[in-house]
Structure 1
Amino acid sequence: MNKYAVIFTVAALLLAGCDKLSPPPSHSQAWVAEGKTMGTFYRVTLASPPPDALVGLQEQINQVLNQDNHELSTYLQDSVLSRFNQYNGAEPQPISSAMADLVSTALRIGAKTGGAMDITVGPLVNLWGFGPDKQPVSMPTQSQIDAARARVGLGHLRLSEDVNGQWLQKDLPDLYVDLSTLGEGYATDHLAALMERRGFTRYLVSVGGAVISRGLSPQDKPWRVAIQKPTDREVDAQAIVDLQGHGISTSGSYRNYYELQGKRLSHIIDPATGRPIDHKLVSATVIATTAMEADGWDTGLMVLGTEKAKALAQQQGLAVYLITKTDRGFETWASPQFKPFIIEGLDDPREKH
């Protein structure tokens, strides 16, 4: 997974159903597994599981994450995605049904956002110094941007299925696909599916900024998560939500950036302009039935900016929470579908509906 394409984030404050921010539950009440994967961190918390039900679980968690990494990594040269990116032909290449579902979701959301969420935007991300290439010492020229944009576009990618399986095809030899925009949600859903197969009905799972839950916490209360305030100077909650068994993901422009020639440049690139976004929307959170669905929408909404993101959320009936920087401070907006999930955070007088 491209560690530079970070999806920021439902805050690192994962709440175990408490009314206020508090430490995670003790290991006497919960079983916790955590570690690194895909250039980020994962965490699995189970509420009061029977000890004998945990046999072999850590090994299976590792297997799920290793398999996802083997499919989606752009750093592993032998991953399924890396082999596809290295292939310069036009013949369809085989992929798994799970990866086909991810690509299908990306293409659908990409179309609905008018191309704002684009899994082929990698050349532009690299050009602006947020990929494996080094940070530029000067602003890219318009000709460099145009050249990179010529290698970008969802229209160059085709997903198909037949009796022999699922296939991915490109009509541009050097098209570069990066699935990290949805990868954290993809892995989160797979870990949740593992918990279901093992018979666990009370869990909170996260990979990076994508989170999903089911059932109650060790305190027999709903699992709750905090949406982080959009600042790189503190870790505090802007709002607290009860997931109610749903997935959640947040994209933000307030941490992964650098300054060049006196200008602050975000890691979120607008495919339409080929440049980092420069509007005032700083955080977009989405709640959906799966973590992957939420993970797919948040970046596209961030690219669109506040007003277009609001309009699309209302048109599509999405559960969306936006934070916008204004001259008066941060203003928040929640779609009607998001509001039932909120526990705390809408008492700010600057909130706009």
Structure 2
Amino acid sequence: MPKTSSDVQRLTLNGPTMGTRWSALVDTDDAAQAAGLQKALADAVQQVDRQMSPWLPDSALNRLNRTPAGTWLDLPPEILEVLACALEVNRRSQGAFDPGVGDLVQAWGFGPARQSPDAAAIRRAAQAASAPAHETLELDVAAGRAIKHAPIQLDLCGIAKGYAVDRMALVLRQYGLDHALLALDGELRALNSQAQGQPWAVAVEYPQDGRRATHSVVELDNLSIATSGDYRHFLQLGEVRVAHTMDGRRRAPVRNDIASVTVLAPDCMRADAWATALLVSGNDGMALAQSLGIEALWLLRRDNRLTTVGLGRFSEAVTDPKQAK
């Protein structure tokens, strides 16, 4: 039952992580929880970063990448949960979402190994023959371990931030809180509605680098949303923009007319992964999303205009001609 305004205070909590910031808007009738909640949320996000960051040499991800093929490695349950989801989306997206593109990410200068593209590394990564990640990596979740059946360099940047938001949601549940909006970069999750009953209004960003503007607004109630695009992290090589998202099927950065894809899902981990998958899929992603019942919004660059296509609750979305100019 919605609470009255006199019962509720809104906590605004945030902190640094993963090269960006996490944030939480929490409706509560006990503001004394703020200090403990701030620490618990920060700890939850940092645990994900410690396990899944490609930038931390001793992360579980990097230990797995260094482990030779054919050798079982014990891993924490959190990264095994993320790897299981990543392999599931890899299979269902027909390889569009690919956690096995770590070598490409590094070669193009988007990882910790180098700050700019390396032509020799790009050639090696492009020519490397590889089976799908879901066939190369085997998980034994019950035993808490994983094994690579062939060399593969894993990268979880297309899913780990969404999972971190889900871990924040778990913290709030443990505190008995169930009205909040949680965010990390472009991934957000609403725990139910606001305490007084209204849904949480979140913006879909206009996909243009150097500009912060709202393209449209989505109302969330017990739902997650994630956006993947080519306009926030990229390299400019002459007149060519190189997106940071890699297409493992082509062994190259994504190149299509999709500016961004926004996906709704019950949990943020899957919203994050599917937004990446549909960005990589290009025009094929619309049929894929429709076949799987995924609700998604595409912002497309066509004929010097921004065109909008949507499925599910986004199906009524129309391009604003003023914003398309």
Answer yes or no: same fold by TM over 0.5.
yes
Write out aligned runs for 1:178-217 (5 A).
178-217=155-194
Who is 1:84 aligned against?
Answer: 64
Greater RCO between the two (CA within 8 Å, min separation 6)? 1
Residues 226, 268 of structure 2: 8 Å contact kept: yes
Residues 332, 350 of structure 1: 8 Å contact kept: no
Q: For residues 117 and 64 of structure 2, what CA distance do their matches in structure 1 show?
A: 31
What are structure 2's unaligned runs of at least 5 residues?
1-7
Q: For residues 92 and 321 of structure 2, what CA distance do their matches in structure 1 show?
A: 32
Residues 229, 259 of structure 2: 8 Å contact kept: yes
Who is 1:150 aligned against?
Answer: 129
Residues 318, 337 of structure 1: 8 Å contact kept: no
CA deviation digits over 1:204-256, x for unaligned, max 9?
Answer: 11122110012333665211110001111321111100112111100001221
- Which residue identity lines up with residue 323 of structure 1 in the other structure? L
State yes or no: 1:172 paired with 2:144. no
SS at match of 1:181: coil
- Which residue identity lines up with residue 67 of structure 2 in the other structure? Y
Q: For residues 322 and 249 of structure 2, what CA distance do their matches in structure 1 show?
A: 31
Q: When the two structures are aligned, how many residues end up with a matched partner? A: 315
In terms of mean alpha carbon deviation, does 133-142 or 38-47 score higher?
133-142
In terms of mean alpha carbon deviation, does 323-332 or 253-262 score higher?
253-262
Write out aligned runs for 1:1-353 (5 A).
29-54=9-34, 56-136=36-116, 143-147=123-127, 149-150=128-129, 153-154=132-133, 155-162=135-142, 165-173=143-151, 175-217=152-194, 220-305=197-282, 307-339=283-315, 346=318, 348=320
- Which residue identity lines up with residue 330 of structure 1 in the other structure? L
Alignment TM-score, normalising by the size of structure 2: 0.89
In terms of mean alpha carbon deviation, does 49-58 or 76-85 score higher?
49-58
SS at match of 1:240: strand
Q: For residues 196 and 267 of structure 1, what CA distance do their matches in structure 2 show?
A: 34
- Which residue identity lines up with residue 191 of structure 2 in the other structure? R
- Which residue identity lines up with residue 180 of structure 2 in the other structure? Y
Aligned alpha-carbon RMSD (Å) = 2.5
Q: For residues 109 and 137 of structure 1, what CA distance do their matches in structure 2 show?
A: 28
Q: For residues 304 and 46 of structure 2, what CA distance do their matches in structure 1 show?
A: 46
Residues 227, 238 of structure 1: 8 Å contact kept: yes
SS at match of 2:141: strand
What are structure 1's unaligned runs of at least 5 residues?
1-27
Alpha carbons of structure 1 residues 167 and 330: separation in structure 2 relative to 1, 3 Å: same
Using the TM superposition, give the Cα deviation of residue 63 of structure 1 relative to its aligned residue in structure 2, in angstroms.
Answer: 2.1
- Which residue identity lines up with residue 77 of structure 1 in the other structure? P
Using the TM superposition, give the Cα deviation of residue 145 of structure 1 relative to its aligned residue in structure 2, in angstroms.
Answer: 4.1
Using the TM superposition, give the Cα deviation of residue 166 of structure 1 relative to its aligned residue in structure 2, in angstroms.
Answer: 2.4
Residues 100, 248 of structure 2: 8 Å contact kept: no
Residues 123, 152 of structure 1: 8 Å contact kept: no
Using the TM superposition, give the Cα deviation of residue 161 of structure 1 relative to its aligned residue in structure 2, in angstroms.
Answer: 3.5
